[in-house]
């Protein structure tokens, strides 16, 4: 039985002092998140320092420059200093907060995650958190995050760890598996997106003045496959509104590939959401492009099948471009701002990070969705599995709310994915490839293959990404040996 108990150390000292927050940012060279964070902090009531650690030191240095540059600007009301470091221990030593947001070469690996399964007829929309691509990504990432967790145990065991890396459920689970007393939470935007959408309905259908923060939901499930069974806007029950919409044309739209041309891969038409709500009576709370990888009926007819529900597939070319600095749309701003080539305006992101830190520092009580090991907050899902629900955050504590359970069919869908996740986590303890393959095999996307095709797909993915799988015992695997024998 896991416990989520926090002991915050030295007698008489608070967990997080709002005037002196030390943040270690693993993956601090990020081109999008880090600049957002820097701006959010600059406008916050918090002061402190941020240590940026990255496998690519120059990215971290660039962000440190940017951070200090922002701090010097008059509109920055807070006081923050930034430094880059290439030493993980130095970054972590005594940190109050650790952010983890990094992974192996995404430009390359994401392409494999998307393209290789496609050869087997599996067209996941994102391929990032479940299904063949997602599971391989988990296999690459878990050992790395076990190392981070071990370093946190050594250098800042009481720190609050915010994991933003996908697959959030696998990765957060791995950190707890390595260091059960870690104070880690997995964070994700999908539920925030649902609340945005619900605020829109409150405005449109009830004429309320409403934004995301006015909407509260009772949310539960696993990351990217969460479900809502209560929703309110300023205390007004939105359920009758949703039930009315469900019967309207709004919830019966279908799309052709042409309809979606030119749309962003992030476009979300909620038609998968409505269909699942119609079938099971509870509302999914993640983007349709994620839902279809867990509720795999929608993948039955390949890309066209996805399109019909208004879902676009993330092309591997998009992935490659997005993650290649020189080509990504996102990459230029910081440098341009620093160089004075582009006008800078301090903006705030939609992130909850500052709100959570403020709550941990005792400045307010804040409720938001987080990923944590199940200690009872989700009924019917096994204890210890990382689940997503709301948590109440106060000075020095994050406590998940007991969100109840699911209609049986939904519980069944979720449990199946938990079985994959837990099998891979178990396998990762000893690097047991064959056991990981058992988790792979029972994944819903992969069940559309014969077992020997599944083995081949697995072997292809492993071969393409083997340099990132060094902690796995590839040599000792019978599954890989069988696959090899079949190919000869």
Q: Binding residue for a copy of itself (CB under 8 A) from 73, 81, 94, 240?
A: 240
In the shown chain, the binding pattern of residues 319 to 358 toward a copy of itself, with x for contact by CB under 8 A and - for none, equals: ----------------------------------------
| Residue 423 sits in the site that holds a copy of itself (CB under 8 A) | yes
Q: To the nearest 10°, the Cα dihedral for 166, 172, 177, 179?
A: 120
Q: Binding residue for a copy of itself (CB under 8 A) from 19, 20, 154, 301?
A: 301
| Residue 379 sits in the site that holds a copy of itself (CB under 8 A) | yes
| Residue 249 sits in the site that holds a copy of itself (CB under 8 A) | no
In the shown chain, the binding pattern of residues 151 to 170 toward a copy of itself, with x for contact by CB under 8 A and - for none, equals: --------------------
d(CA 8, CA 15): 6
Chain-centroid distance of CA 126 in Å reads 12
Instruction: Look up 112 and say whether it is catalytic.
Output: no
Residue of 135, 283, 81 lying closest to 124 (CA atoms)? 135
> To which residue do tokens 């499930």 refer?
221
Give the Å distances, CA to CA, from 169 to 87, 130, 160, 375: 27, 10, 17, 15
Of 330 and 412, which has the nearer Cβ to a copy of itself?
412
Residues 6+ away with beta carbon under 8 Å from 182: 149, 152, 153, 157, 161, 175, 176
What is residue 309's DSSP assignment?
A: T
Q: Binding residue for a copy of itself (CB under 8 A) from 279, 430, 467, 476?
A: 279
Instruction: Tell the smallest beta-carbon distance from residue 365 to a copy of itself (Å).
Output: 5
Residues 6+ away with beta carbon under 8 Å from 326: none
Q: Binding residue for a copy of itself (CB under 8 A) from 206, 265, 346, 464?
A: 206
Q: Binding residue for a copy of itself (CB under 8 A) from 454, 459, 461, 462?
A: 454
Q: Binding residue for a copy of itself (CB under 8 A) from 259, 351, 438, 473?
A: 438
| Residue 390 sits in the site that holds a copy of itself (CB under 8 A) | yes
Of 38 and 378, which has the nearer Cβ to a copy of itself?
378
Q: Binding residue for a copy of itself (CB under 8 A) from 9, 257, 325, 476?
A: 9
Q: Binding residue for a copy of itself (CB under 8 A) from 57, 143, 157, 362?
A: 362
Q: Which stretch binds a copy of itself (CB under 8 A): 108-116, 173-181, 310-318, 391-399?
A: 391-399
Q: Which stretch binds a copy of itself (CB under 8 A): 32-40, 88-96, 228-236, 338-346?
A: 228-236
Residues 6+ away with beta carbon under 8 Å from 476: 433
Is the separation of the CB atoms in 255 and 308 below 8 Å? yes
| Residues in region 16-35 near a copy of itself by CB under 8 A | 16
Of 29 and 373, which has the nearer Cβ to a copy of itself?
373
d(CA 128, CA 134): 4
Q: Is 143 exposed, middle or buried (0-12, 13-18, 19+ CB in 10 A)?
A: middle
Q: Cα angle vertex 443, ends 227, 125, to 5°?
A: 65
Q: Binding residue for a copy of itself (CB under 8 A) from 197, 203, 321, 399?
A: 399
The catalytically annotated residue of 189, 196, 290, 417 is 189
Q: Which stretch binds a copy of itself (CB under 8 A): 104-112, 179-187, 326-334, 364-372?
A: 364-372
Is the separation of the CB atoms in 34 and 52 below 8 Å? yes
Of 182 and 454, which has the nearer Cβ to a copy of itself?
454
What value does the CA radius of gyration of the chain take, rounded to a whole number of Å? 22
Q: Cα angle vertex 291, ends 287, 293, to 5°?
A: 130
Catalytic residue annotation: 189
């Amino acid at each position: 039985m896991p416990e989520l108990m926090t002991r915050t150390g030295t007698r008489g000292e608070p967990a997080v002092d709002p005037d002196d927050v030390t943040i270690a940012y693993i993956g601090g060279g990020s081109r999008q998140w880090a600049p957002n964070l820097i701006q959010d902090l600059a406008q916050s009531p918090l002061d402190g320092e941020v240590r940026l650690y990255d496998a690519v030191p120059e990215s971290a240095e660039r962000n440190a420059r940017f951070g200090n540059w922002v701090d010097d600007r008059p509109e920055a009301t807070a006081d923050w200093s930034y430094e880059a470091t290439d030493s993980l221990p130095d970054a972590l030593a005594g940190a109050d907060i650790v952010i983890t947001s990094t992974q192996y070469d995404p430009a390359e690996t994401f392409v494999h995650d998307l393209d290789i399964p496609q050869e087997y007829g599996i067209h996941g929309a994102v391929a990032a958190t479940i299904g063949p691509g997602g599971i391989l990504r988990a296999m690459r990432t878990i050992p790395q995050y076990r190392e981070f967790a071990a370093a946190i145990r050594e250098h800042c065991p009481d720190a609050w760890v915010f994991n933003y890396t996908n697959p959030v459920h696998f990765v957060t689970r791995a950190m707890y598996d390595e260091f059960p007393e870690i104070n880690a939470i997995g964070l994700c935007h999908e539920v925030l997106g649902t609340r945005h959408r619900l605020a829109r309905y409150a405005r449109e259908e009830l004429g309320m003045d409403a934004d995301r923060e006015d909407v509260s939901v009772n949310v539960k499930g696993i990351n990217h496959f969460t479900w809502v069974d209560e929703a309110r806007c300023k205390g007004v029950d939105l359920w009758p509104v949703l039930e009315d919409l469900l019967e309207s044309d709004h919830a019966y739209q279908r799309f052709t590939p042409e309809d979606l041309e030119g749309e962003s891969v992030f476009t979300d038409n909620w038609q998968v959401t409505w269909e699942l709500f119609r079938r099971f009576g509870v509302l999914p709370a993640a983007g349709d492009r994620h839902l279809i990888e867990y509720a795999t009926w929608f993948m039955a007819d390949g890309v066209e099948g996805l399109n019909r529900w208004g879902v676009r597939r993330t092309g591997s070319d998009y992935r490659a471009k997005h993650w290649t600095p020189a080509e990504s749309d996102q990459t230029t701003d910081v440098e341009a701002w620093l160089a004075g080539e582009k006008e800078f305006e301090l903006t705030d992101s939609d992130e909850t990070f500052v709100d959570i830190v403020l709550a941990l520092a005792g400045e307010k009580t804040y409720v938001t969705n987080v990923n944590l090991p199940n200690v009872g907050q989700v009924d019917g899902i096994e204890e210890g599995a990382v689940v997503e629900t709301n948590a109440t955050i106060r000075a020095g504590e994050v406590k998940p709310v007991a969100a109840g359970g699911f209609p049986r069919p939904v519980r069944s869908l979720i449990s199946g994915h938990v079985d994959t996740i837990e099998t891979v986590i178990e396998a990762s303890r000893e690097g047991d490839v064959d056991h990981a393959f058992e988790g792979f095999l029972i994944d819903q996307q992969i069940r559309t293959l014969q077992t020997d095709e599944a083995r081949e797909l697995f072997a292809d993915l492993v071969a393409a990404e083997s340099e990132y799988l060094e902690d796995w015992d590839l040599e000792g695997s019978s599954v890989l040996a069988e696959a090899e024998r079949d190919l000869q």
